[in-house]
Structure 1
Amino acid sequence: MAIESEFSILNEVIDRLQNDFQHSFTVETDLEEVSVILNEVADRMMDNYPYFDTNYAGQMLKPPHPVSRLAYMLAMYFNPNNHALDGGRASSQMEKEAVAKIAEMFGWTVHLGHLTGGGTMANMEALWVAKKEHPDKMVVASNMAHYTHQRISDVLGIKYQSIRTDQLGRMSAQALEQVLTSNDVGTVVVTLGTTGTGSIDPLSEILELQKKYDFRIHIDSAYGGYFGLANNLNDYGAQQYSLIHQADSIVIDPHKHGLQPYGCGCILFKDPKMGAHYKHDSPYTYFSSAELHLGEISLECSRPGAAAVALWATMQLFPLEKNGKFSAGLESCIKAARKLSALIKSDNRFQLVMEPELDIVVWAPTGKSLSEISKASTSIFEKAAAADVHLALIKIPTTLLSEVWNDVKKDQEYVTCLRSCLMKFEHLDWVDEIWRVIQSSMP
């Protein structure tokens, strides 16, 4: 959709809304002065990588869908606050409906949940509830889990321990059980799609351990949560996603694969009784309705209702269902990762670190030592960027390197590798061009 068409739709809907609502959105201002400032903003924004472009295949950045962008802008004429219902009546209802659909995607028809400013805040609420449920027990997560879990545990005063991973970047169930025997673990964080390598923790094995050791399971699927809709996961991945409904809490970020602007995260609890931990009163906000105010089940107070409006609108266009156009987009991301991996394996100048399980590919040029490989990776990263193909870098510890790296001199504790998040639905059509630039960027 062309930008001109987007604004044509927005102007048309704003005109109708203003006429029907019978209140003016007009704010007196000097438009010439605003124009000068906006042009300065545009000049400043040029100091960016083209995150929205298919040639950007580096970090986890993708543009919101036009329907999300337009719905967000439309909602900003009201600027609703989804803390209390009288601050965001329509947007609060849209949030409840959107969150319920996300919960249904995970197999929950009964749940407690709401949107957050992002995955960090969502995970904080999950671990805060974990501490309320098991005040004296610790939280564990894999050493490839997002660093936010250790940081949040420190903020909340929770004892934390990381669990080693195998060479596929998955939590080791054996290492986990060694820690569980202490009977000091209250919550195990299971990552379905690590942000570094896209690895999927063995939820099936961890659920078996739960029967023996009785702990809570929190699933951090901030990055990978939507991939349960895809039909082309490998057998292992499909099995883990099929069990996600057995978790106690789940985090997902619609602002990653859900086509939303930052920040839009989501926290879900299977047991609505977890809402008792949030119980509080506010003498001037929770009076306008007997219905649940979202602020009553959230650690955050003011929250942008526009984020809920944008998410609701997007989910009308892209329902969360298998065999739909949204799931097809996710499947194309997986195909893109597999295609790039096949090209890497076909060229003996490169080597994969591990086969991609979702849409993240990690690889490196070959070399005699880890320091030599790290230097070459950085050179490719810089040369590709100069050719307008943007990758990312990641430090992989030697413990994750498979036997194919045995002949490489381990002269440092990690190796800097190249990394691509092929998370745009259109990336599949651009893999060949991205690969061409990568090959031409070899030192």
Structure 2
Amino acid sequence: MKLERESIQLLEKALRKLESGFDLPDFSTSADFQKMEEVIVRTAEKMRDNYPYFHPLFAGQMLKPPHPIAKAAYMLAMWINPNNHAMDGSKASSPMEKEVVGDLAQMFGWNEHLGHLTGGGTMANLEALWVAGKIHPDKKIIASDQAHYTHERISEVLKLKFDKVATDEQGRINVRALEEKLESGDVGTVVCTMGTTGLGAVDPLDEVLKLQKKYSFRIHADAAYGGYFKLLNNLEEETEKKYSVMNHVNSIVIDPHKQGLQPYGCGCVLFKDPEVAKFYIHDSPYTYFTSDDLHLGEISLECSRAGASAVGLWATHQLLPPVKGGQFAADLEKSRNAALKLYEKLKSSDDFHTIVKPETDIVVWCVKGETTNKMSEAAKVFFKEAEKNHLYLSLYKYPTSKFSEPDFKIDSDYLVCLRSSLMKPEHEDWLEEIWKRMMKSIEN
């Protein structure tokens, strides 16, 4: 079996349990199930035109399959189809959302917080920068040149000033360059990326916090990809130190649909100070009438939101709590182990050259050669050969200006590298097979 199907049996039992909770007269739907079967089979045929994102041999893009419990719970919620904008449309799933958001806040050491789930990291980051702009309307947002492009784009949408800061050879924000920007006194918020989507690099948050005391600015931690790594026991000491001070930032974004085993889209924005709710307050004459408690729609820029996301995440937290030393953390540690093992294999190889030691579970390397142009072309060929061998990787452009005294000639601005996101816990067990296919691909 390649696709997990046992959760369908769980779903059948759960649906009967759900149905028994409604003391209502029976009714029948008007759906033509014979035609539906024809359509759904054709849909499956269409969906076969996909890369095998669910399989350990897919090790390129940041695509992690949802846990079976998340899939089953999400689908279960679809028979109710709750809207987590207001309690009126999400009597059960809104409290579930508040509970899981509390779990995520607790993961970062926050007992008090304001937050909610979002459709993804982009919307979550938009809300964080929107609040930052409300607090410092005339000051800049600053992020590193390796931060996600969404920050620059969002700043433009919000009409906020934006500036980039250089990174070091590891892809982390350059603290000295940052301080030069801060000396102008016009910086309102600094974005620290806790796990870049390119190299998996973690910005030196501990050093940025020292600058905050001197220059007084807000810190937003974009932990959309890397936030869950805070739970790991196998990080480098320097990386662990950076995660340990995340409770001191002003806002955090984390995406349960990346490392948190959830279906798309499920992001989360968290604010340390609940008082930022004042920026959201609005009146709605028809959606807020069944509860005196704060509705999620009153602290969100989004209106309708899938309550199924909250249900899927709640069920996952019941089975795999996001706590240090738990099974969830242990599975994520396997991904980190796989990245370290692949890095060591690449480092000792005669065919490849490593770029940086992975801080999380992303590994980036290149094919050895005389010049960066030739190396880039070789990487593109290798990428295609790997796909022929059913090994799915990704490409990454590394700025050649970051190299210091390389043993090859630099004749291009960027070096095309290979990149692997080893996000599945199964990747550790499949590493020898992955390496075998890499060797076959380089030989061709």
Out of 20, 36, 61, the residue aligned to residue 59 of structure 1 is: 61
Asked if structure 2 preserves the Cα contact closer than 8 Å seen for 1:255 and 1:261, the reply is: yes
1:72-106 deviation per Cα after TM superposition (whole angstroms, max 9, x unaligned)? 00000000000010010100000000000000000
Q: How does 1:58-137 map to 2 (within 5 A)?
A: 58-137=60-139
Q: In the TM superposition, what is the alpha-carbon distance from 1:26 to its structure 2 partner?
A: 4.9
Residue 329 (structure 2) aligns with: 327
Residue 411 (structure 2) aligns with: 411
Residue 315 (structure 2) aligns with: 313
Q: In the TM superposition, what is the alpha-carbon distance from 1:400 to its structure 2 partner?
A: 2.6
In 1, the alpha carbon distance for the partners of 2:289 and 2:19 equals 28
Q: How does 1:353-432 map to 2 (within 5 A)?
A: 353-403=355-405, 405=406, 407-432=407-432
Tell me the SS of whatever aligns to 2:21.
Answer: helix
Tell me the SS of whatever aligns to 1:68.
Answer: helix
In 2, the alpha carbon distance for the partners of 1:39 and 1:184 equals 58
Out of 184, 203, 206, the residue aligned to residue 205 of structure 2 is: 203
Residue 9 (structure 1) aligns with: 10
Tell me the SS of whatever aligns to 1:103.
Answer: helix
Q: In the TM superposition, what is the alpha-carbon distance from 1:408 to its structure 2 partner?
A: 2.2
TM-score (norm: length of structure 2): 0.98
In structure 2, list runs of 5 or more residues that go unmatched.
none
Tell me the SS of whatever aligns to 1:355.
Answer: coil
Tell me the SS of whatever aligns to 1:89.
Answer: coil
Asked if structure 2 preserves the Cα contact closer than 8 Å seen for 1:25 and 1:77, the reply is: no
In 1, the alpha carbon distance for the partners of 2:18 and 2:349 equals 57
1:394-442 deviation per Cα after TM superposition (whole angstroms, max 9, x unaligned)? 1111133343x2x422221101100000000111011111111111111
Residue 291 (structure 1) aligns with: 293
Q: Which runs of 4+ in 1 moved over 6 A?
A: none
Residue 436 (structure 2) aligns with: 436
In structure 1, list runs of 5 or more residues that go unmatched.
none
Q: In the TM superposition, what is the alpha-carbon distance from 1:9 to its structure 2 partner?
A: 1.6
In 2, the alpha carbon distance for the partners of 1:25 and 1:175 equals 67
Q: In the TM superposition, what is the alpha-carbon distance from 1:22 to its structure 2 partner?
A: 2.8
Asked if structure 2 preserves the Cα contact closer than 8 Å seen for 1:18 and 1:25, the reply is: no
Q: What's the Cα RMSD here?
A: 1.2
**Residue identity opposite 1:15 in structure 2:** R
1:149 aligns with 2:151: yes
Q: In the TM superposition, what is the alpha-carbon distance from 1:28 to its structure 2 partner?
A: 2.0
Residue 186 (structure 1) aligns with: 188
TM-score (norm: length of structure 1): 0.98
Q: In the TM superposition, what is the alpha-carbon distance from 1:25 to its structure 2 partner?
A: 7.8
1:42 aligns with 2:35: no
Asked if structure 2 preserves the Cα contact closer than 8 Å seen for 1:353 and 1:401, the reply is: no
Asked if structure 2 preserves the Cα contact closer than 8 Å seen for 1:117 and 1:264, the reply is: yes
Q: In the TM superposition, what is the alpha-carbon distance from 1:5 to its structure 2 partner?
A: 2.9
Tell me the SS of whatever aligns to 2:221.
Answer: strand
Task: Classify 1:304/1:427 alpha carbon distance in 2 versus 1 (closer, same or farther; 3 Å).
Answer: same
In 2, the alpha carbon distance for the partners of 1:58 and 1:9 equals 31
Tell me the SS of whatever aligns to 2:92.
Answer: helix
Asked if structure 2 preserves the Cα contact closer than 8 Å seen for 1:116 and 1:300, the reply is: yes
